[in-house]
Structure 1
Amino acid sequence: MREFYTFGWYASKISPHLPKEVFEPVPSRLLGGLIYLIIALSGLLVISLLDLHPLWNFLISVVLGFSFASLGFLGHEILHGTVVRRPWLRDFLGAIAFWPLCTGPKLWRKWHNANHHVHTQHEELDPDAWPGLEKLAKSRLLRWVYRIPFVIRAFFAFSALTFTFTLHSIRMLFYFFKDFEPKNRKIVLWQFLLPWASWIGLLFVIGFSKWLFAFLLPLLIGNFIVMSYISTNHRLNPLVPVNDPLANSLSVTVPKWIDVLHFNFSYHTEHHLFPTMSSKYYPLVKKHLKKMWPDRYHEMPMTKALIALWKTPRVYYQQRELIEPLQGHVYGTLGNGLEPTRIQYRKAEVERELGQSFVSSSFKKVAKHK
C-alpha cells in the first residue's frame, strides 16, 4: 500500500451513504452493561459469602473475567460519547464500566481518544505503537529482551496478555500525568486510586483465597480477552506517516454471538473511521468499506490473527516491515507482503542492509556470531 488517506477522507466518502441515525448516541447499549454489572456483583457476592468448592469458584471467576472484559468494551464505547453525550454522565458511566480493569475515564480519554486515535501507528506519538529498530537499539532493556530466543519470547509475550492492559494503564498514568492541568491531576489520581483501593480493600475483608477467585483471576482473564483484541488491532499493520485506518488497522472476525457479547469490538477499522459512532452500526460501515476499497481493507479471523502475531516479531524495520534483529529475519506487514496463511521472512544482510540502524554495537557483535 503506497498511498495514504486520512480517516476524515474515508469518512467523507462513506457518510453520504449512511442513514442519519447512525451518528446519534445509543443509550440502549447501557442495558447490556446493566446485565454484566448484575452478573459481576452477583458473582462477587456468591464467592465472598459462600464457602463453595474451588471448582465452582473457578467457574464463577471465568464468568467474572468475561464480564470484566465486556464492561471494558462498553466503557470504551461510552467514553467515545456514543452512548450518552453529557460529559459528567459519560465519565460517571465510563468509570463504572472500567472499574474492574482499574482505568479512570480522564486518563483513558487522554491516552486513547486524544492520542492513540489521532496518531494511530505513529512511532513517536501513538502511545500504543511498538518500536522501530532504531528505538530498540537505544534501549538496553529492549536489547536484552530481544536476545531471548524468538519462540520463548513469543510464549512469554502471549502469557503477558493476562496482565498487559493493567500494566500499560499504570504506565500511561505516569506518562500522561504531567500533561493534565494541575486542577485535573487530583481527579485523574483519584480515578486511578479508588478502583484499586476497593479491590485491595476487598482482599482484607474476604481473605486471599476468596479474593483470588473474586478479583485476581477474573482480572487476568479480562486482561487476556481485552488484549487478544487490542493485540490484533494494529500490531500486524505498518507504522504510517498518515493516520490511514485502512493501512494501520485490522478488523477481526468472530462468531456473531461473541460480537453481541463484546459490543462489536472486533470492528476496529470501522471504529477508527467513526470513533464517535456506536459500534451497533459498524457492520453497515464495513459493508461500504468492502465495497468501496476491497483491496485496502484488512480483515481476518481472530484465531488466524493471533497465530500471525505468534509467528512474527514486534520490532518495525523501515516502517513497513517487522524484523527479528539478531537473525536479521524481515517479515512483511499487512499490505506490505504479509500473508497470514503462509508467513515467510527474507534474510537481511546485517552489515549491508541494516547498517546504522543497529545503533548498539552489542547487536552487531551478537549478530555476527549467529
Structure 2
Amino acid sequence: MKELHTFGWYAARIKPHLPKEAFKPVPARLWGGLAYLLVTVAGFLAIGLFDLHVVLNVLIACVLGASFAAMGFLGHEILHGTVVRKGWLRDLLGAIAFFPLSTGPSLWRKWHNLTHHVHTQDDENDPDSWPTLEKMLKQPFFRWVYRIPLPVRAFFSFCSLAIQFSAHSAKMFGVYIKEFNVKKRPKVWLELILPWATWISILFILGPIKWFFAFLLPLLIANFIVMSYISTNHRLNPLVPVNDPLANSLTVTVPKWVDVLHFNFSYHTEHHLFPGMSSKFYPLVKEHIKKMWPDRYHEMPMIKAMIALWKTPRLYFQGNELVDPRKGALYGSLGNGLDPARIMARSSMLKQETEVSDEFVNKESNDKTI
C-alpha cells in the first residue's frame, strides 16, 4: 500500500486551484428537490384517488422509488451544509428530503457527518465499515452465514440492498441515541417517530394494497438505488489506519443524465475530500485529482463495481484483503491487487489461505464441542 495521507492533506493541495464560488452554498439545488417533491405528491394522489391497473401502479411505484432515492441524495447534500448554511433551515429541509427514507437529520449528521466521514474505513470507529474475520469469528450467526457458498451469499446480499438502508438507519439510531444530550433526545425521537407515524397513518387511509404501491414498494426501490451507490463507495476498498479518501473511497461513473438526477452522488472520493462543497463542483475536483494523483485515484463504471461486489466476499483479512472463510480464499482490495476486470482468489497466498480456513473450521469445531 502506498503512503497514506489525510483528506486535509489532499484538500490543501487542490483548494488553491478551485474557484471561490465552489466553497459557497448552492440553494438552487432546492429546485430539483421541489420537482421530486411534486412528483411524489402526484404519485400518491394518482394511486390513492384512482383504481389504476396494476401495471400503472408498478410504474408509478418505480417513479416514486426513484424520487425517494433522489430526495435522499439531496438530503445528504443539504445536511452537509452545501445548500443552505442556517442550522434550523438546513435541518428542516434535510428532514423533508429524508422523510421518505424515515431518517432524521440529527441522527444523520451524528452518524454520517461526524462519525463516518471522520473515521472512514476505520475498523473500530466507522459505523459503515464491514467486519474483519476476527470480528466475524466471535458471532455464531455470521459464522453460519459465511458457511454458505459465495455465489449464494452474493445473491441474498444483493437482494438485501432493498432493505439495507432502512435497517442500518434503525441500527444507527440504537447505537447513537444515548450519545445525544438528554435535552436533545426528544427531538431525535420525534424525527424518527414522525415519518413512520405518517406512513402508518397513510396505510389506514389508502388500505394495504394501495399503500404497498404508494410507499412500501417505492421504499424498497429507493433502498436498492441508494445502497447500490453506498455499497460501491467503500466496500471494495481496504480498511486503513489513516483516513485517506484516495485509498478508502471509490468514485463510480454513470451516464451524465443519471448524475443530474442524482445530484452527482457518484463522485464519492471527491465528496470525502470536500464534504462541505456542493456536489455541483465535484467534476472540477475530479479533474485536479486525476492530474495530481492519477495512480492513486479509483474510479470505475457503476455496473462494473457492482459485478466486482458480487464476485468478492464482504469480510476483511489483515485490513487490505477480502476473505471467503468457507474456502480460505483471499482477494485483493482496490490498490492492493484487486483487478475488477479479472477477479479471482489469489493463488500465491496458499499458506495464509490455509490458516484462514483452519481458523474458521477450528472455531466451528470448538463451538460444537462446547
State if a TM-score over 0.5 links the two structures.
yes
User: Separation in 1 of the partners of 2:188 and 2:182?
Assistant: 10
Residue number in structure 2 paired with 1:361: 362
List 4+ stretches of structure 1 deviating above 4 A. 347-353, 363-366
Q: Identity across aligned pairs (percent)?
A: 65
Alignment of 1:65-76 (within 5 A): 65-76=65-76
Contact 1:69 1:226 in 2 (8 A): yes
Contact 1:137 1:360 in 2 (8 A): no
Aligned-CA RMSD value: 1.6
User: Separation in 1 of the partners of 2:210 and 2:244?
Assistant: 47
Contact 1:321 1:331 in 2 (8 A): yes
Moved more, 264-273 or 46-55: 46-55
Contact 1:249 1:298 in 2 (8 A): yes
Residue number in structure 2 paired with 1:302: 302
Helix, strand or coil: the match of 2:120?
coil
Contact 1:252 1:301 in 2 (8 A): yes
Give how far 1:364 is off: 6.7
Contact 1:68 1:219 in 2 (8 A): yes
Contact 1:133 1:358 in 2 (8 A): no
Contact 2:328 2:354 in 1 (8 A): no
Helix, strand or coil: the match of 1:331?
strand
Contact 1:249 1:268 in 2 (8 A): yes
Residue number in structure 2 paired with 1:312: 312
Contact 2:24 2:277 in 1 (8 A): yes
Residue number in structure 1 paired with 2:21: 21
Helix, strand or coil: the match of 2:219?
helix
User: Separation in 2 of the partners of 1:110 and 1:269?
Assistant: 20
1:273 lines up with 2:273 in the alignment? yes
Residue number in structure 2 paired with 1:123: 123
Alignment of 1:209-228 (within 5 A): 209-228=209-228
CA shift in 2, pair 1:317/1:351, >3 Å: closer
CA shift in 2, pair 1:43/1:335, >3 Å: same
Helix, strand or coil: the match of 1:163?
helix
Please give the per-residue CA displacement for 1:30-59, whole angstroms capped at 9, x wherever unaligned.
Answer: 000000000001100110111111111111
Residue number in structure 2 paired with 1:325: 325
Residue number in structure 2 paired with 1:93: 93
Helix, strand or coil: the match of 2:33?
helix
Contact 2:325 2:357 in 1 (8 A): no
User: Separation in 2 of the partners of 1:6 and 1:357?
Assistant: 37
Give how far 1:355 is off: 6.3
User: Separation in 2 of the partners of 1:77 and 1:360?
Assistant: 45
Contact 2:149 2:326 in 1 (8 A): no
Contact 1:313 1:323 in 2 (8 A): yes
Moved more, 303-312 or 50-59: 50-59
User: Separation in 1 of the partners of 2:158 and 2:48?
Assistant: 31
CA shift in 2, pair 1:357/1:74, >3 Å: farther
Contact 2:327 2:357 in 1 (8 A): no
Please give the per-residue CA displacement for 1:69-93, whole angstroms capped at 9, x wherever unaligned.
Answer: 0000000000000000000000000
User: Separation in 2 of the partners of 1:353 and 1:182?
Assistant: 50
Alignment of 1:14-53 (within 5 A): 14-53=14-53
User: Separation in 1 of the partners of 2:80 and 2:305?
Assistant: 26
1:254 lines up with 2:254 in the alignment? yes
TM-score, with normalisation over the residues of structure 2?
0.96
1:178 lines up with 2:181 in the alignment? no
User: Separation in 2 of the partners of 1:66 and 1:353?
Assistant: 45
Structure 2 gaps of 5+ residues are: none
Give how far 1:319 is off: 0.2
Contact 1:25 1:85 in 2 (8 A): yes
User: Separation in 1 of the partners of 2:125 and 2:164?
Assistant: 20
User: Separation in 1 of the partners of 2:243 and 2:328?
Assistant: 28
Amino acid at match of 1:157: S
Contact 1:81 1:276 in 2 (8 A): yes
1:144 lines up with 2:154 in the alignment? no
Helix, strand or coil: the match of 2:323?
strand
Structure 1 gaps of 5+ residues are: none
Give how far 1:353 is off: 5.8
1:56 lines up with 2:56 in the alignment? yes
User: Separation in 1 of the partners of 2:152 and 2:356?
Assistant: 27
Moved more, 215-224 or 142-151: 142-151
TM-score, with normalisation over the residues of structure 1?
0.96
Moved more, 87-96 or 138-147: 138-147
